[in-house]
Amino acid sequence: MDDRLGRVADDTEMRWNGWGDPAKAVELPLAVRTLLPLLLGRIRRPEPAVALDEVELAPSALDAADIGALEAAVGADGVDLSNEARIRHAGGRSTPDILRRRQRMQSAPDGVVRPATHEEVAAVLGEASARHIAVIPFGGGTSVVGALDPQRGLHHAVVALDLRRLSGLIRFDAVSHEAVLGAGTTGPEAESLLAARGFELGHYPQSFRYATIGGFAAARSSGQNSAGNGRFDTMVTGMRVATPTGDLDLGRSPGSAAGPDLTRVILGSEGVFGVITEVRVRLHPVPRERLFEAWSFTDFHAGAEALRRVAQNGGGPTAIRLSDEAETAVSLAQVGRIGKALAKGAGVVTVYEGDHVAERRARTAALLGASGGVSDGEGDAAAWLAGRFDGPYLRDALLDAGVFCETLETATTWSNLERLRDAVSAALRAGFSDAGAKPYVMCHVSHVYQTGASLYFTVLAGIRSEPLAVWRAVKERVNDAIIDAGGTISHHHAVGRDHAPWLEAEIGDTGMRILAAIKRELDPAGILNPGAVIPLDRMG
């Protein structure tokens, strides 16, 4: 019996060599084009990107027996060996991913497998283990840390396990304020299905339009409403997981002392222990009210101090965000406000949703005002909310114009925040300068806690040649700086393969041995996402 209560189709396929809906690709605003030479110097326009039908792939390494076994697990229509499908599942959406997609010769999985049920996922894992085929779980394809790279490890082939057919609302409990969603359900699908019943999840990362519920859990995502709704891992009350050695059905009750919490072991595991097929989440009623307010501060230091007071004194915003002087200037330039952009200053955006919003805004306003903030009214905050998922479109437009643009993030305590910001900024500037490129570094805080906050960096640079090699060297320098300055290697982008070499510096040798032991128990053949989170040399 099919107990699904409903599903919402989303037929808009992501641009194969960029971000999002191809129809929404943007041109650089005139004000930004004018500003770029001032910030970066002379910019060299890149070579034209290849078309999809010009991409060259190695032949699939799956043999006839492999294909037959996979088709037996999911049906003939669930296995796709076409070049287009392989290319569309060849990685995530980081800037290096996009630059690689624009080249003629590319790496890709040997095939794409699309299961429709938990049982089919389990069957695929069984066949893949027996036949030495690596499996890369694939949801919305929005990873920016190399978690979706088609790495075979020691196996003879690799397939992308596309989970989008596992979508929909499976169970809904209005009394308990809980729902079970298929792991392949996208953010918009989930919110539409829940809104029809008067509820919402309220998880809105920048990848919201394409990322999936399973991906949110696998990467320990944090949405822009985290100040009010919490991180995604705090929303998860249970999950169902298929592993090569058996199933997990986790989360019997709202609280438990029945041993270590295995749900937390799977959260953030990025598909290396098993494949999440269902996620149970807590809900809250659809907000009845929403208010906005933007603020200006003299500099980042003053703004960060204000956010600390809000976080530690119960201000009550659903979303709060601080942009440093550099990011504020570029944001204002995008909408043609050059005069104000050049005046500098740091900007804060606050959003209030739910109940008692006027009271919460007044309480937060008192804290921000007492910290030196000046209210700018609702306009800038409402504008940010309207365009908060569109940043990657601008990234692609910058790449088209020859400007390297990439992001990275970390987090630390309030007392260490500016030390960490200075260390990362210095590493970015020194790394690009050593490569002969002039960088422009921006930073914002978008997630706050009582004890600390995140730091999210965006860097622009006019790299003259070999951007992938330049960024690799810069990122290594930055990762070292993050660890040395006491930050986490990732606050919400996850570990993937890009950060895996630095994980041991954060959790220690004992921590790495624990992770490797869990993987050996659940995935003894090592087929699941080889090299992600746990470097291959840690597996023995």
Q: What is the pLDDT of residue 330?
A: 84
Same domain, 358 and 444: yes
- 131 within a domain of the structure (yes/no): no
First to last CA, the chain: 44
Q: What is the pLDDT of residue 184?
A: 98
Under DSSP, the state recorded for 415 is: G
- 203 within a domain of the structure (yes/no): yes
Same domain, 281 and 295: no
Q: Is the distance from CB of 274 to CB of 122 less than 8 angstroms?
A: no
Which of residues 270, 285, 300 is at a domain's end? 285
Distance (Å, whole) CA 118 – CA 349 = 41
- 328 within a domain of the structure (yes/no): yes
Burial class of 411 by CB neighbour count within 10 A (0 to 12, 13 to 18, 19+): buried
Same domain, 300 and 406: yes
Q: What is the pLDDT of residue 335?
A: 56
Distance (Å, whole) CA 445 – CA 455 = 5
Backbone angles phi, psi at 9, to 5 degrees: -80, 145
Which of residues 441, 459, 484 is at a domain's end? 484
Q: Are strands 133-138 and 157-162 parallel, antiparallel or unpaired?
A: parallel
Q: What is the pLDDT of residue 5?
A: 59
Q: Tokens 């609280």 — which residue?
A: 255
Same domain, 307 and 396: yes
Q: What is the pLDDT of residue 8?
A: 53
- 194 within a domain of the structure (yes/no): yes
Q: Is 497 helix (H, G, I), strand (E, B) or coil?
A: coil
* Tens digit of each residue's pLDDT, the chain (540 residues): 234 455 554 456 899 999 999 999 988 888 788 888 988 988 888 888 899 999 999 999 999 999 999 999 999 999 999 999 999 999 999 999 999 999 999 999 999 999 999 999 999 999 999 999 999 999 999 999 999 999 999 999 999 999 999 999 999 999 999 999 999 999 999 999 999 999 999 999 999 999 999 999 999 999 999 999 999 999 999 999 999 999 999 999 999 999 999 999 999 999 999 999 999 999 999 999 999 999 999 999 999 999 999 999 987 999 999 999 999 988 876 655 544 544 569 999 999 999 999 999 999 999 999 999 999 999 888 888 888 999 999 999 999 999 999 999 999 999 999 999 999 999 999 999 999 999 999 999 999 999 999 999 999 999 988 999 999 999 999 999 999 999 999 999 999 999 999 999 999 999 999 999 999 999 999 999 999 999 999 987
- 97 within a domain of the structure (yes/no): no
Same domain, 184 and 298: no
Distance (Å, whole) CA 430 – CA 426 = 6
- 312 within a domain of the structure (yes/no): yes
Same domain, 294 and 279: no
Same domain, 310 and 458: yes
Same domain, 346 and 386: yes
Q: What is the pLDDT of residue 3?
A: 44
- 234 within a domain of the structure (yes/no): yes
* Residue 530, token pair as written in the block: 């080889």
Which of residues 285, 316, 332 is at a domain's end? 285
User: Number of structural domains, the chain?
Assistant: 2
Q: What is the pLDDT of residue 7?
A: 52
Q: What is the pLDDT of residue 343?
A: 56
- 271 within a domain of the structure (yes/no): yes
Same domain, 361 and 235: no
Q: Is the distance from CB of 423 to CB of 485 less than 8 angstroms?
A: yes
Distance (Å, whole) CA 141 – CA 149 = 10
What CATH number is given to the structural domain containing 305?
3.40.462.40
H-state helical runs in 41-138: 64-74, 83-88, 95-101, 118-131
Same domain, 373 and 317: yes
| Tally of helices (H runs) and strands (E runs) in the chain | 19, 18
Same domain, 386 and 462: yes
What CATH number is given to the structural domain containing 182?
3.30.465.10
Same domain, 355 and 272: no
Q: What is the pLDDT of residue 340?
A: 52
Q: Which range marks the domain in which residue 332 is found?
A: 289-484
